[in-house]
Amino acid sequence: MRLPARMDTMNRTSRPAIFFTAFLLTAGPIGAAQATPWGNVKTPSNGPAEVIGGTSNGCIGGALSLPTEGDGYVNIRRYRNRYYGHPELLRLIADLGRTQARRGEDLIMVGDLSQPRGGLMSSSHRSHQNGLDVDIWFRLAPSAAAANRDTAGKTDPPSMVSADGENLSPLWGEDQRTLIKTAAEDPRVDRIFVNPAIKRGLCRSERDRTWLNKLRPWYGHDAHFHIRLKCPPGAVQCDQQAAIPRGDGCGKDLDWWFSAEARKPTKRSGPRAEPVMPTACRALLPRG
């Protein structure tokens, strides 16, 4: 079985052989350093926002900075300098926050967006490169101070998946369901990556499963979910990902993730060929 080159090419016919093994082979382990100049760029470029390339091989010009806090949300781990994105992404986050604020006082914890000019990060992600991706933690925080205290360093919020990886954990509740459902039903959202056990739990519990189509099973993503937007209108240099297959995705494709085949480790043979950076991205990297 051939492993997918990276997360944004995942579809029905290209699947990893095991969640964690695929993660190591396609994305690099969390915290592992990669040689990339994009992390050295500290500020966005001037000019209007422009998405260039794809989420796993691209960049963003004129990115905007997500405020540290807003109605219903707090952005955590600001020291990473990964809180930049296209205006549409920032508007989506603000809308999710306002929806949460109407529900109660707890806050959505917003994780990584993109670097100031996008591009490959030195750790944690192969995607998040063109200003259209954001990680949202399932757990809500009682305050901004608590969110930053509880996620300092390498500490992550708890998993929403049972220890055996088969089912939802007792921590899953209506707050988590409402949060991901609100995101999935937003027309700006192209897809959401989520742990297979979370999708299976929702497939079992939801009467109306139409919104589950956007939930794409992928390794990890048990404590947070990964939102990816569609290319914004007029973004002529943005590479739109292939359309999601029709249906709710609750059938045999989801069952595969829990099969013996899915749990059999597979090693990649030879080094991975890195994609050629879009020409327009090179101009966003300072020289010298």
Instruction: Read off the pLDDT of residues 151-163 as tens digits, 9 standing for 90 and up.
Output: 887 778 999 999 9
The residue-averaged pLDDT of 84-89 equals 98
Dist. CA 96–CA 93, nearest whole Å? 5
**pLDDT at residue 288, rounded to an integer:** 57
Residue 208 CB contacts under 8 Å (≥ 6 apart), including other chains: none
Give the gyration radius of the chain's Cα atoms: 18
For residue 35, name the pLDDT band (cuts at 50, 70, 90): confident
Instruction: Read off the pLDDT of residues 166-191 as tens digits, 9 standing for 90 and up.
Output: 999 999 999 999 999 999 999 999 99
Q: What percent of the chain has pLDDT over 70?
A: 86
Instruction: Read off the pLDDT of residues 228-275 as tens digits, 9 standing for 90 and up.
Output: 999 999 999 999 999 999 999 999 999 999 998 887 767 767 777 778
Dist. CA 135–CA 128, nearest whole Å? 9
- Evaluate whether 45 touches 26 at the Cβ level (below 8 Å): no
Average pLDDT, the chain: 87
**pLDDT at residue 242, rounded to an integer:** 95
Structure tokens at 135: 């990680």
The alpha carbon of residue 225 and the mean position of all alpha carbons in its chain are separated, in whole angstroms, by: 6
Residue at token pair 């590479």: 239
Q: What sign for the dihedral angle of Cα 223, 124, 273, 242?
A: positive
Residue 287 CB contacts under 8 Å (≥ 6 apart), including other chains: none
